[in-house]
A and B are shown apart, each in its own frame.
Chain A
Amino acid sequence: MLTCDTYRLPTSLKEALALWAGAPEGSRLVAGATDILPWAREGRAGDVHLPEMIDVSRVAELCGYEIADGRVRLGANVAYQQFLTDPVLRSHLPCMPYCAVWFADDQIREQATLAGNIVNASPAADGVPPVIAMNGDIEMARLEGGEVVTRAMPVAEFIMGPGRTKLAGNEIVTAVTLDSMQGYGGSFQKVGQRRSLVISAVCCAALVKTDASGEVFEDVRLALGGVGPVPMRLTDIEDMLRGKRIDRKLIAEASVGPADRVASRSRVAYRKAVVSGFVEAAIEDALVELGAPEPTPEQREAAHV
């Protein structure tokens, strides 16, 4: 059960930062609250009393997104459902609709933010592999002498381990900035214990761009989640495929190596088996998005002999 003394709904960044700087020890920032509320229950944190809850969901500067110079700047309040419903985001971040559709459910996605998912830093967070595949940076703001000061760093550096990030005590995350992937095919693979409302045991994000002929990998982006304390970008596999002719056999070969990188503490054999299949399926699904025919199970099998 969660209780608090004061609930704040600031509407500007400066107001939010001032409240945050002045909040008593133990206060919390709140975005969608989809991590915070279930956390304050029996078996996890139990009954929690917070002095202040500072809800950033109405801070104007954190809402909406901008696209400029090949980068998409997502305000910290962008919630998962927007990746499914907003046509502009769908075209610039083509793996995100698939990531979103497997994320929780329609109702939770209306509230759950990508920024909250990153700050929560669960090893199973679905948003993080796509973000690191898209060279995501996280932007944080704080007050210094009454002025708003910001800094940014790659998300891959920001997340230090399960539940641990480089966010400083007086900072608020303001944005997540990603490469625009317009023209790429995107995909997302996820397995958990059921279909909806489940956290990933393993997930994999892929983005693929082909040359004008459609026969050569011009660029490939791959990242895995759920396979260790932090998500993993597969840069060597990306390098291996970049510039090569698209070939089922090559994709099958590329999918073998990543299995060895599984560093989870549990269900290692299972995760290894899943990882190879996911890397392969993620690349193939991304190609299908670009118009390639869907491979039959027989074709997939043939590539592995």
Chain B
Amino acid sequence: MSDFEMELEVNGRKVRRRIEPGQRLLDFLRDDLNLTGTKEGCGAGECGTCSVFVDGKLVKSCLMPAAKAQGTKVETVEGLAKPGELTPVQRAFHKTGASQCGYCIPGMVMAATSALRENPDAGIDEIKERLGGNICRCTGYTKIFEAVELAREVIAGRLNPATLEADPAGESFIGNNVRRLDAPSKVSGRLRYAGDMVMPDMLHMQVLRSPHAHAKIRSIDTSAAEALDGVACVITCDDVPGEDGFGVFVHDQPVMARGKVRHVGEAVAAVAAEDIATARKALKLIRVDYEELPGLFDPEDAMQPGAPVIHDYAPDNIVKHIPVRKGDVEKGFAEADIIVEQTYETQQVEHAYLEPEAGIAYVDADDVVTVISPSQNITHHRHMLAHIIDRPINKVRFIMSPVGGGFGGKEDMIYQGMLALAAMKTHRPVKLVFTREESIIASAKRHPSRVTYRMGLKKNGRITAASFRMISDGGAYGMSTEGVMRKAAILSCGPYDIPNVQIDTYGVYTNNTPSGAFRTFGGMQAQFATESHLDICAEKLGLDPFEIRRINMMRDGAVTHTQQKLGSVSLARVLEAAEKASRWEAGPVGQRGPVRGDLGGEGTRQPCTLGSRIKSADGHNKEKVA
């Protein structure tokens, strides 16, 4: 390999470095120059967290070989404003609250800056178009677009720069615009997430993952990998000194596969080396002898008697069954005029937080094993790790780094254990950053669910009984499945007052990617079934969908499915507001004539289309033809 002699200008300063010839501009900026405001959300051109200016044009630095920037002028988020200052665009992001986790925000600020440099008068359609290459998973785009429009007006002199200052504080924070305290660190790119942190003498970890969904591990041979120059250690489950096992409820998951693998992408071994390329080379030298086992990919198959067993402790493959009973459903069904049955399915969903999993572990001078990571559950992780590494709790420390989006997906301790073991084995800091592909293959997903509904109703719409049976795919490990099943059962039949209910939720082991926590924690799957089912029942009974809900809604003093008495219930007001906001055209489904009056209109999002800037360019073709 012959080094590439790199000479360019970065943020106004001349830079000369010898670099690896195939390196990306993103790596050069982050690793060689420590400009970590430029992030890597995907490494494949899809997310825009890596946007930088090269000779005045915004590009994605993950798609650009560094050598391509030879002799150019590069501008990163750190170069937009002088230290201690913020540009009007950055201040506008601060003002409108356009930063939540903040991981997308430096890239968003760069794209907004580019949009206004390219066209200082860009309208909202053009702004949306020009920010089209940048994804945000938490703020939502409204605040971001507001910020760009605000900045445009200030830069053009149409709005007083004082508009960018904080609004005067009112009597209460509630109902007033309050700027986020951490926004300046995010809009400037200065906030360091775990993947942005470096420590002297740090090693880099890479993980060997299972290609099989279900297989016995006969042997793992790490000797060739260990012998490779630059490799500091290779770890497997044999390096676990204590009681191996973690999970939010049941500790059924080993730090690395122990004896068998249960899903594609499960960690089997990990290498810590001087650099990532060496660690990846070493992975290819690890020999794992697998014996494939029959896999289970549908929870209903896994529930059949005689199905292969995934965890010895659970011979029926059930992670958790939550039954809820109230009243007498058989009696309720007997009283019904009609019984409506239907099955509802939802699919697996990835959280896709923009920050892929990352962490650093080290052992400090007092032998405290320390892990820095965007864990959503550090206290629990600390307790579990203490058991796993067999150290007293005061010798284990977790530091929560800024979370670049979690949505429940960072509750599981899927990599912190490996980092700790490697740090203990080498007494050097060890860092691991997942690739986007790795994050998708190894992290928990939203539970795919199948709900079989049976509901009895009177002709007037009153529900007499409901049975709700949910089978959820828990995947290979328990993670948050127990809690998700509990919440799904509690919320199951929704905010409706049903005298007789029979609810069963089952979380089931399969050889799919594990399911875990995800915003709503089981509520979404249950509500999809319940609300769809009520619409279908309304149609069958010739009732307005709002009406059937009003007939059955819980009111003050109602008793929930789990038999708690509710003091006050706001559902009536919620329904009224929803009806008004949607300009609901009252009437039973299918009986309101051929044209719906409540579709489209004010406040409705129009179908997306592109090209506003072509139309405003000059109407070129029309001129030429005339």
Query: Which A residues are closer than 8 A to B by beta carbons?
Result: 1-7, 9, 30, 32-34, 37-38, 41-43, 47, 50, 53, 55, 57, 81, 84, 87, 90-91, 94, 97-98, 101-102, 104-108, 110-111, 182-186, 195-197, 289-291
Q: Closest CB of chain A to B30's CB: distance in Å?
A: 15
Tell me if B133 and A105 are in contact (CB < 8 A).
yes
| Number of A-B contacts defined by CB within 8 Å | 140
Known contacts A1-B277, A101-B611; A33 and B435 CB within 8 A of each other: no
Tell me if B621 and A37 are in contact (CB < 8 A).
no
Tell me if B64 and A33 are in contact (CB < 8 A).
yes
Tell me if A101 and B614 are in contact (CB < 8 A).
yes
Tell me if A197 and B65 are in contact (CB < 8 A).
no
Tell me if B613 and A185 are in contact (CB < 8 A).
no
Report B273-331 residues with CB < 8 Å from chain A CB. Answer: 276-277, 280
Q: In the complex, which residues of chain B have a beta carbon less than 8 angstroms from the beta carbon of A87?
A: 617-618, 620
Known contacts A33-B64, A110-B57, A197-B133; A102 and B610 CB within 8 A of each other: yes
Which one of B4, B44, B118, B277 lies within 8 Å of A38 (CB-CB)? B44
Q: How far is the CA of A27 from the CA of B622 in the complex (A)?
A: 47
Q: B51 at the A/B interface (Cβ < 8 Å)?
A: yes
Q: How far is the CA of A5 from the CA of B149 in the complex (A)?
A: 46
Of chain B, the residue at the smallest CB distance from A286 is B621
Q: How far is the CA of A238 from the CA of B24 in the complex (A)?
A: 46
Q: How far is the CA of A108 from the CA of B132 in the complex (A)?
A: 11
Interface size, chain B (Cβ < 8 Å): 49
Q: Closest CB of chain B to A100's CB: distance in Å?
A: 9
Q: Closest CB of chain B to A295's CB: distance in Å?
A: 15
Q: B1 at the A/B interface (Cβ < 8 Å)?
A: yes
Q: B70 at the A/B interface (Cβ < 8 Å)?
A: yes
Q: A37-B63, A106-B133 are in contact. List 14 more A-B contacts (CB 8 A).
A: A37-B62, A37-B64, A43-B437, A53-B21, A53-B65, A98-B614, A105-B48, A107-B51, A107-B111, A107-B133, A108-B59, A182-B624, A184-B621, A290-B625
Q: How far is the CA of A30 from the CA of B622 in the complex (A)?
A: 38
Q: Closest CB of chain A to B212's CB: distance in Å?
A: 16
Of chain A, the residue at the smallest CB distance from B2 is A6
Q: Closest CB of chain A to B166's CB: distance in Å?
A: 32
Known contacts A55-B67, A98-B611; A195 and B625 CB within 8 A of each other: no
Q: B114 at the A/B interface (Cβ < 8 Å)?
A: yes
Of chain B, the residue at the smallest CB distance from A88 is B620
Q: How far is the CA of A33 from the CA of B69 in the complex (A)?
A: 13
Q: In the complex, which residues of chain B have a beta carbon less than 8 angstroms from the beta carbon of A290?
A: 621-622, 625
Q: Closest CB of chain A to B434's CB: distance in Å?
A: 11
Report B13-36 residues with CB < 8 Å from chain A CB. Answer: 20-22, 24
Tell me if B132 and A196 are in contact (CB < 8 A).
yes
Known contacts A33-B64, A91-B620, A196-B132; A7 and B58 CB within 8 A of each other: no
23 interchain pairs, CB-CB under 8 A: A1-B276, A1-B280, A3-B1, A5-B2, A32-B63, A33-B64, A33-B65, A50-B22, A53-B21, A53-B65, A81-B57, A84-B613, A91-B624, A104-B45, A106-B114, A106-B118, A106-B133, A107-B51, A107-B58, A110-B58, A185-B621, A196-B132, A197-B46
Max count, chain A CB within 10 A of own CB: residue among B51, B68, B276:
B68
Known contacts A107-B48, A186-B621; A195 and B21 CB within 8 A of each other: no
Which one of B133, B438, B613 lies within 8 Å of A42 (CB-CB)? B438
Tell me if A106 and B610 are in contact (CB < 8 A).
no
